[in-house]
Amino acid sequence: MPDDENLRPGLTDLVWPRRTSRLTLRPLTVDDVDAVHAYRSDPDVGRWLGRPARSREEVMASHFTEQDLAHSLAVEVSGAVVGDMMLVVEDAWAQRDVREQARGSVAVLAWVLSPVHHGRGLMTEAVEELLRICFEDLDVRRVRAECFALNEPSWRLMERVGMRRELHGVRDSLHRDLGWVDTLGYALLADEWRAAPRLPVVE
C-alpha cells in the first residue's frame, strides 16, 4: 500500500500474480515484447488499436515505456503471454471546490488478445478479474472503456462483463483506414458490480 493513506493504491502496489480458472495476470515486463509483438503486429488486431505496432521496435516504443508498463498487465495461459490489458486510473470531472473527492476515482480499461485464442472467453475471464482489481483493490467508483462501434467483439465483451453502453459518438473518431467512424462508451459503477452475482475467486 502507498505510504500516504490519502493516495489510492496503483497496480504496482498490488500482490502479483493473480490467477483465474484458466489465466495468470501479472504486470507486463520488457521480456514480454516478442510475445506482444507477435499478436499486436497482426493486421486484424492492429486495425482496432490506437497506435501502430507493425515492427518489434514500434511495439517497444509504443507499449514498453516505463509509463506504459506501470499501467499494463500480461495475460498468460500455461506460462505463455496471449494478451495484454491496460488500466489507467484518472480523476472524474468535478467542480473545482469538490475536485479532491473525484481524484483517482475512475479506471480506464483496454485489452488485446492474440487471435489464436479468440472465441474461448479468455478475455472475458481476464476482464472480470480486472474489474475485481479495480473495485476491490484499487477502490475506484467507476470503470469505463471505449471502442469503435465497428469493433463488435470488443463491445460484446463489455456487455458480457456487465458494462453498460452509455455513449454513442457519431462519426467522432478518425480511423486510419475507415475515416470518421462512430465510437461506443461503456461503464460500470462499483455498487452495480458489487450487486451483481459472480463466481467465487480461485485461490
Ligand X SMILES: CC(C)(COP(=O)(O)OP(=O)(O)OC[C@H]1O[C@@H](n2cnc3c(N)ncnc32)[C@H](O)[C@@H]1OP(=O)(O)O)[C@@H](O)C(=O)NCCC(=O)NCCS
Q: Provide the binding-site residues for ligand X, judged by CB under 6 A.
A: 45, 48, 110-113, 118-124, 147, 151, 153-154, 156-157
Residues 46-49: contacts with CB under 8 Å, at least 24 apart: 47/177, 48/147, 48/148, 48/151, 48/154, 49/112
Provide the minimum distance between the beta carbon of 130 and ligand X in the complex, in angstroms, as a whole number. Answer: 12
Find the residue with minimal CB distance to ligand X.
121
- The DSSP line for 81-122 is EEEEEEEEEEPPP--GGGGGGGTT-EEEEEEEE-GGGTTSSH
Cis? peptide before 17, omega within 30° of 0:
yes
Provide the minimum distance between the beta carbon of 78 and ligand X in the complex, in angstroms, as a whole number. Answer: 16
Nearer to ligand X, 156 or 168 (CB): 156
Instruction: Output the CA torsion sign for 128, 28, 36, 32.
Output: negative
Provide the minimum distance between the beta carbon of 108 and ligand X in the complex, in angstroms, as a whole number. Answer: 11
Q: What is the DSSP letter of 9?
A: P
Q: How far is CA 134 from CA 24, 72, 196, in A?
A: 17, 13, 15
- What the block records as the C-alpha cell of 132 is 475485481
Nearer to ligand X, 103 or 118 (CB): 118
Nearer to ligand X, 53 or 138 (CB): 53
Residues 12, 161: Cα–Cα separation, whole Å: 24
Nearer to ligand X, 156 or 194 (CB): 156
Nearer to ligand X, 9 or 185 (CB): 185
Provide the minimum distance between the beta carbon of 123 and ligand X in the complex, in angstroms, as a whole number. Answer: 4
Provide the minimum distance between the beta carbon of 19 and ligand X in the complex, in angstroms, as a whole number. Answer: 16
Nearer to ligand X, 48 or 92 (CB): 48
Provide the minimum distance between the beta carbon of 188 and ligand X in the complex, in angstroms, as a whole number. Answer: 16
